[in-house]
Structure 1
Amino acid sequence: MKILHVLDHSIPLHSGYTFRTAAILREQHRLGWETFHLTSPKQGAVDADEEDVDGLHFYRTRYRPGTLPGLGEWGLMGALTRRLEAVAREVQPDVLHAHSPVLNALPALRVGRRLGIPVVYEVRAFWEDAAVDHGTSREHGLRYRMTRGFESYVFRRVDHVTTICEGLRRDIVARGIPQDCVTVIPNAVDAEAFRLGGAPDAELKAQLGLANARVLGFIGSFYAYEGLDLLLEAFPRIRAQAPDVRILLVGGGPQAERLQEQARRLGIAEQVVFAGRVPHDQVQRYYDLVDLLVYPRHSMRLTELVTPLKPLEAMAQGRLLVASDVGGHQELIRHGETGWLFPADDPGALADTVLDTLAREPEWDAVRAAGRRFVEQERTWARSVARYQAIYERLRGVVEPAHAR
């Protein structure tokens, strides 16, 4: 079976998007499928039309944007359509598999219909909602409504829709798409790639000013929807009852300066360590410093609908975690069994849940084991990617593939 994946961007760029993609492709290879991979112009400037990265071969799309305002997306889709048609004629796939955003789906739909190749569209998030959080779009504004309209247009015309979680599936079905045309391929992790949490590096802990402290931690990108402002707001209440507790924030992003200013304003700057971005091969050392990971996402469409990867990675390592009860977290975390949930957007509830969790030390080993077991039994890439097989095999009979003509 030949699958041509159409991607926004890929490794060597690092993001949750590229990590999910690489995991899917490697698991499909293990199933014996032949995969091909084309990235859109959003990969950025490229030096060659093709590139090998970590054992995966990528076709790239060269693109020089025009100068007329407002035409960037149309030019991007035009370049991707031309490149996709050329690659499809070369590799003759059985299925075109376009991944979010809709800027990839529309070219795939056009090329698929032109060449008689069935099209799968994988929705990883509604990018109009992410744009609202990033401040590049206004909820229900013109750009928001246009993007949402294009998504619905594609849903009605592709041969099958896949998505990453139940929240997104429900939203897609609510737009009039038949339930049997939408399949959840959930986020997962390679459990074997994560070792159970090790002992903290005493030298690193002292270097960061965390010696003799219990550590609340977050490791990831500092976006507004992650709710790290709530963690800082809750901290004075936590500190009043647990003065040995500190916060470790590892990473960076658009909210970094604002969070640092908030810590200074709250008078907690000395108890909050901003470690910055660290090399990928050093991340484990920082995880090992954390006693309790905190994921305080705000409640909004994006977080209610979409499941994140970070809690799964934490559970795979046998970590303890506290998270807001947004829909994306509720699909992953069983309160009191694999972690603890608190009412979203309530810093007082966050503080109380953290304090209660820290007081439940006799239960910690059972919760760690339950989280790891959940990942091993329900959220491995082998289990998730196997769900594609029935979709692909059914679609191979829908239309005659290009290479059979």
Structure 2
Amino acid sequence: MVDSILFITNAFPDTASSHRGIFIKKLASLLHEEGHRVSVVAPKIYKASRLFEVQGGVKIYRFPFFAGNKPLIEYEKIPYLKMIVYYLSGTVLAIYAFFRNRCSLIHVHWAIPTGLIGALLRSLISKPLIVTIHGSDFRLGTTGSGLIRRLFLYVCRRANHIHCVSKVQSKALTELGIAEEKISTFPMGVDRTFLDVGKAQDRIFREGPVTVFSNRNLQPIYNVSLLIQATPLIMREMPGVKFWVAGDGPERERLEKEADRLGATGHIQFLGRVRPNDMADLLSKVDIYVSTSLYDGTSVSLLEAMASGCFPVVSDIPSNREWIRDGENGFLFPPDKAELLAQRVIDVIRSRSLIEKSRKENLRLIEERALWSVCMGRVKEIYEDQLYSVSHGTK
């Protein structure tokens, strides 16, 4: 039985309405509901965020590092001086939270940067360290500078167990020399609310204008500009289509100007940041889900759209291929070809039966592989196995 767990994470909701790291909050809440004590250590990004608070029984400790209201993912270059403060402040607070709450296990989210804090903490104690690799950390750890790659590999070697969210990641880790038995592969979970939406859609064939939707953050890695470029191409063939772009980020102003320059402003509605609790209702009104991302671990946004009955049209990148079979339960397109994205969307609209055909398969996939109940079972199994191994001296 796992009594007390320490999460160390690079992203966690900064306020009650924040979406940053919302799936980490969901996992912590589910563990708390099952009787575990959960403490979270995360960086303090915004001035409005509290240094300490309790949300739904989960204790949250935030360490300051002069973030300047800017998440690390928005920096074009690594802010090395800030990162020195990040690691010093984060390590001290993690040590305090660990001993203050008598934790029996450490679960780090993102091998880079927070994995190093977890690895340092593990060197001081004899408790299990589990590391979940998401997306940006894997990309940095496998394509970044030599120093970043060495730190990434150090964290992976120090971990008792590694949770990868995609097969692409687990395959790469084994090629780097990490033992296969040390790795588990499954996505972060999808709330059943989305599946309920999808099952309701299965009984309703919507008439009227088609709605195309994107909800990736407006940052360069998510390549939302490609959808803006594809919009006028789609409108030439299908003038009644509606485009909703949710999310926020440093690229928003540039994307709005690009839409205006292409004459697409009247067809695209920028929704801004959507509250997590409102996303399922919004997806219930969507026909086609588009993700133009250049890189992903396993996109929870994609899984939520699949669960909600939307037809996925997503970039042809390795992690998306694990979930989408082109022409069967969705479409794939090269992430640098606006005209091919446009053609894929047009193909779906011209054959609305594709939406109905894909829906049943996607609902089955999510129910079997991605619901929180499934993922929680895997997480708890890892915890129990690692605690047993450490207590019996087998690891």
Q: Rg bigger for which structure? A: 1
Residue 159, structure 1, aligned to residue 160, structure 2: yes
Match for 2:382 among 375, 387, 391? 391
Q: Who is 1:18 aligned against?
A: 21
Shift of 1:38: 2.5
Alignment-derived partner of residue 362 in structure 1: 353
Name the structure 1 match of 2:116.
106
Specify which of 52, 55, 59 is matched with residue 54 of structure 2.
52
Instruction: Say which SS state the counterpart of residue 78 (structure 1) adopts.
Output: helix
Contact kept? 1:10, 1:43, Cα under 8 Å: no
Q: Which runs of 5+ in 2 are unaligned?
A: 68-78, 202-206
Going from structure 1 to structure 2, the CA distance change for 1:160 and 1:280 (only over 3 Å counts) comes to: closer
* Alpha-carbon distance, 1:335 to partner: 2.8
The alpha-carbon deviation at position 365 of structure 1 amounts to: 2.1
1:76 aligns to what? Answer: 86
Q: Aligned residue pairs: how many?
A: 372
Identity, % of aligned pairs?
23
List runs of 5+ in structure 1 lacking aligned partners.
Answer: 133-138, 200-210
Letter in 2 for 1:174: E
User: Which residue identity is paired with 1:317?
Assistant: S
**Alignment partner, residue 313 of structure 1:** 304
Q: Is the 8 A contact 1:7 1:37 kept in 2?
A: no
Tell me: CA distance 1:126–1:172, structure 2 relative to 1, closer, same or farther (3 Å): farther
Instruction: Give 1:324 deviation, angstroms.
Output: 1.7
Q: Deviation digits for residues 52-96 of structure 1, max 9, x if unmatched?
A: 11x132241444659xx9443223222222222233223333221
> How much has 1:319 moved relative to structure 2?
1.7
Please tell me the root mean square deviation across aligned C-alpha atoms, in Å.
3.1
C-alpha distance in 1, partners of 2:343/2:63? 52
- Residues 85-100 of structure 1: matches in 2 within 5 Å? 85-100=95-110
2:260 maps to what in 1?
264
Distance 1:275 1:11, change over 3 A: closer
CA contact 2:128–2:386 (8 Å) conserved in 1: yes
Instruction: Find the counterpart in structure 2 of residue 202 from structure 1.
Output: none
Given that 1:49 and 1:60 are in contact with CA atoms closer than 8 Å, whether structure 2 keeps it comes out as yes
Shift of 1:183: 1.4
Letter in structure 1 aligned against 2:118: A
Please report the TM-score for the alignment, with normalisation by the length of structure 2: 0.82
Judged with a 3 Å threshold, the aligned counterparts in structure 2 of structure 1 residues 356 and 43 are, in CA distance, closer, same or farther, namely: same
Name the CA shift for 1:49/1:177 in 2 (closer, same or farther; >3 Å).
Answer: same
State the Cα distance separating 1:308 from its structure 2 match: 0.8
Conserved in 2, the CA contact under 8 Å of 1:8 and 1:42?
A: no
Change (3 A) 1:390 1:48: same
Moved more, 173-182 or 339-348: 339-348
Contact persistence 1:128–1:148 (CA under 8 A): no
Inter-partner Cα distance in structure 1 for 2:208 and 2:387: 60
Q: TM-score, structure 1 length as denominator?
A: 0.81
Quote the residue 1:251 is aligned against: 247
What does residue 37 of structure 1 align with?
Answer: 39
Pairs within 5 Å for 1:142-291 = 144-192=145-193, 195-196=196-197, 213-280=209-276, 282-284=278-280, 286-291=282-287
- Name the residue aligned to 2:31: 28
